[in-house]
Amino acid sequence: MVYESKGTLVWTDVGIEKVWDQVITELLNNETVFYAQTPKRSVNSLEHKFISVYDRNDAVGPTRSVDALVGDSTGKLENTHKLKQYTARVSIEDARVLEAQRNGIGMLKDAFASEFELTMKDLAKDLNTAFYADSQTEGFETGPVPNPVDGLQGLLKASRTIYGNLSTTYTVLDANVDAATTEWTLAGFRTKVATLKTNGARNLVVYTTPTIYSIILNKMENNKMYLGTSAAAGFEGALTIDGIPIISDPDCTSTGLFILDRDAYYIAEFTPFTMVNENKLATNNLTTTKAVWGHLDLVFRKFNTSYKWTGITS
């Protein structure tokens, strides 16, 4: 599908940015798995503040009519995390610009639409891959190069400092990790799920690579009994195990399998991806450039209801 900007005036007058916002969202969702399926929450600051609950309210339970009313509250951590900035810069160069100027807005919009669609696919690939990576940093200007969003490998670790707090002190910040080289088994999977449910997980999902997805399918197929004859082979529909969706994502890190509690994490967005306004339009050396940008990051409120399982070989 090729998207076209609907302009009838010269390029700098069409106010094209808002027209493309819906297209930006559509392209990002079409080209990603984890990013598209993760809830987004609008936040009002680049330094996102959120709560992690680490203890229960003890003032609950049976009581007598003569007992004094003594209250308590849940143990809460106030966390702060700096979001990251991402951009996609789209240029139409040299002769294409001259051709567009000579023939009017129609040629320019077609040239831009083609380049824009391809660039958004590249942004989607880069962003979705980053959400699986081994990265966890504060802010996008903390060093000589910009920092990527926090990745699942970087976030789901045991015994570390996260969001300024020690996971050894607050166990909800201590993720479950299995990095041993191992064979995937249904019994092993169920053991890990039992750990997460004991810790309070209620809404589980699994993200993994196409290779490990195939390993799981093959093991399930080995346990099937074939009766009768049919031209249909393999499985139909989405793969689930004990009601838990197993999702294949080609951007997932190799040998990785993540059992996640969907109630524990979200993507915080300060600026949803949008095209920058017209006064940021740059024309230099016969090159017309526009940019898409956004401020976001992956945020976990608790970690002990998710599992990072790597090292799966068969």
> Residue 84: pLDDT band by 50, 70, 90 thresholds?
very high
Average pLDDT score over residue span 167-176: 88
How high does pLDDT run on average in the chain? 82
Q: What angle do CA 137, 141, 143 make, to 5 degrees?
A: 75
Average pLDDT score over residue span 28-43: 94
> Residue 50: pLDDT band by 50, 70, 90 thresholds?
confident
Average pLDDT score over residue span 247-261: 92
Residue with more model confidence, 80 or 3? 80
pLDDT score, position 279: 45
pLDDT over 60 at 104, yes or no: no
pLDDT over 70 at 293, yes or no: yes
> Is 92 in contact with 287 (CB distance < 8 Å)?
yes
Is CATH 3.30.70 the classification given to domain 11-55+76-226+235-310?
no
What is the share, in percent, of the chain residues with pLDDT greater than 90? 39
Q: CA-based diameter of the chain, in Å?
A: 89
pLDDT score, position 13: 36
Phi, psi for 128 (deg, rounded to 5): -65, -40
Cα 78 from Cα 82, distance rounded (Å): 14
pLDDT over 50 at 237, yes or no: yes
Which of 226-235, 237-246, 286-295 has the least mean pLDDT? Answer: 226-235
Cα 258 from Cα 239, distance rounded (Å): 15
Tokens of 199: 């810790």
pLDDT over 50 at 4, yes or no: no
Residue with more model confidence, 226 or 10? 226
